[in-house]
């Protein structure tokens, strides 16, 4: 008898007791677990998408900033003049930040892999290269081409990376959308937990009434619900996060080819980021349930 009494008292004591005062409800438990797992899974993908888009945007952006090149092929006697007029023209072109003719040494360095270090660049009819770096707005390539044609017929504008400019903008937009999605998922999790907590509080109106009558404070009652929903959300989100990370690990790799689809993964320390998702989900659940409990309990007579 004594042992059983101790057992009863132990059950009623502390957190375990506070948890037990709310009757277990299998169905809503499973729904909350499932929803928070699904939300966490989606968050992982939105996170990976944001990070991948950010990475892509940065690396493409770096290449873009590295500029385009103008190649001038002209007979040696006209070379100086054409170079000068192209440089002058570039100086007046809006959207061009700097323009600089490469020196003979630099040109030799560029050609070295093919022709060896002893190449007498000065005596060969190699084209003169002009390095152009743009402002962030860029220049109007078509009009620049037209004017080059008029001023220096031997000049060719080589825009090897410009085609990526709209992609960089798209990547940065995609990254933004990824973060917005994460915020929305967080808000939806909060809304879901609020609904579930309201349902649980309403379903347990009699339990709450009895607890109030025997002297339970709102804080004590709320704690039972808050703990339950926080723990459920935490474990659901943990499962969803692990599933999401596993799914990313299993994404087929495309080697060095860089693209959004193949870049959908975490890199290095970024693998730690998803681990923040379950605690954050639990925090959202904690806040949502506390607010719901405060509202419902405060409204009781």
Partner 1 sequence: MIELDNVAYSYSGDALLTDISLQLAPGTFHFLTGPSGAGKTTFLKLCYGALKPTGGSVHIFGDDVTEMDRDAVAYMRRRVGVVHQDCQFLDHLSVAENVALPLSVSGQATPDQAENLNELMGWVGLQGKFDSLPPELSGGERQRAALARALILSPDVILADEPTGNVDWEMSQRLLRLLIELNRMGKTVMIATHDLGLIRAAKAHVQARVLRITNRTLQTAGADL
Q: CA–CA separation, 226 vs 285, rounded Å?
A: 8
- In the bound state with partner 1, the residue whose beta carbon lies nearer, of 23 and 94, is 23
Least spacing, CB of residue 5 vs partner 1, in Å: 4
Taking the least distance from each CB to partner 1, the nearer of 171 and 297 is 297
Concatenating the DSSP letter of every residue in 237-269 gives HHHHHHHHHHHHHTSPP-TT---TTTT-S--GG
CB 201 within 8 A of CB 289: no
Continuous H helices in 66-103: 76-92
Min dist. Cβ of residue 231 to partner 1 (A): 19
Q: Find the shortest distance in angstroms from Cβ 224 to partner 1.
A: 10
Q: Which of 202, 206, 229, 214 is nearest to 295 (CA)?
A: 202
> Least distance from C-beta 211 to partner 1, angstroms?
6
Closer Cβ to partner 1, 4 or 268, answer by number: 4
Q: What is the CA radius of gyration of the chain?
A: 33
Shortest distance, CB of residue 3 to partner 1, whole angstroms? 10
DSSP 93: S
Count Cα atoms within 13 angstroms, Cβ side, for 135: 10
CB of 225 to partner 1, least distance (A): 14
d(CA 93, CA 96): 6
- Given the complex with partner 1, which of 126 and 292 has the nearer CB atom? 292
Cα separation, 239 vs 186, whole angstroms: 16
Q: Of 143, 162, 153, which Cα lies nearest the Cα of 90? A: 143
Nearer to partner 1, 10 or 124 (CB): 10
> CA torsion 148→152→153→154, rounded to 10°?
-110
CB of 226 to partner 1, least distance (A): 16
Q: Tell me which residues touch partner 1 (CB under 8 A).
A: 1-2, 4-6, 8-13, 17-18, 20-21, 23-24, 206-207, 209-220, 297-298, 301
């Amino acid at each position: 008898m004594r042992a059983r009494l101790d057992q009863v008292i132990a059950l009623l004591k502390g957190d375990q007791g506070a948890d037990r005062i709310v009757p277990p409800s299998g169905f809503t438990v499973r729904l909350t677990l499932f929803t928070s797992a699904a939300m966490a899974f989606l968050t992982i993908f939105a996170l990976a998408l944001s990070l991948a888009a950010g990475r892509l945007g940065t690396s493409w952006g770096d290449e873009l900033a590295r500029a385009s090149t103008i190649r001038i092929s002209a007979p040696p006697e006209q070379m100086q003049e054409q170079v000068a007029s192209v440089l002058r023209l570039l100086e007046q072109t809006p959207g061009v930040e700097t323009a600089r003719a490469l020196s003979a040494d630099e040109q030799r360095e560029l050609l070295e892999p093919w022709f060896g270090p002893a190449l007498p660049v000065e005596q060969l009819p190699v084209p003169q290269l002009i390095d152009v770096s743009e402002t962030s707005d860029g220049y109007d390539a078509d009009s620049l081409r037209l004017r080059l044609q008029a001023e220096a017929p031997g000049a060719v504008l080589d825009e090897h990376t410009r085609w990526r400019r709209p992609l960089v903008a798209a990547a940065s937009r995609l990254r933004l959308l990824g973060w917005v999605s994460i915020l929305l998922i967080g808000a939806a999790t909060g809304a879901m937990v609020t609904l579930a907590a309201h349902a649980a509080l309403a379903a347990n109106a009699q339990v709450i009434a009895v607890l109030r009558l025997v002297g339970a404070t709102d804080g004590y009652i709320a704690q039972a619900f808050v703990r339950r929903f926080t723990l459920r959300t935490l474990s659901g989100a943990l499962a969803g996060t692990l599933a999401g990370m596993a799914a990313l690990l299993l994404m087929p790799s495309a080697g060095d080819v860089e693209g959004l689809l193949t870049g959908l993964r975490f890199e290095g320390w970024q693998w730690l980021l998803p681990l923040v998702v379950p605690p954050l989900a639990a925090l959202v659940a904690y806040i949502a349930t506390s607010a719901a409990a405060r509202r419902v309990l405060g409204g009781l007579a």
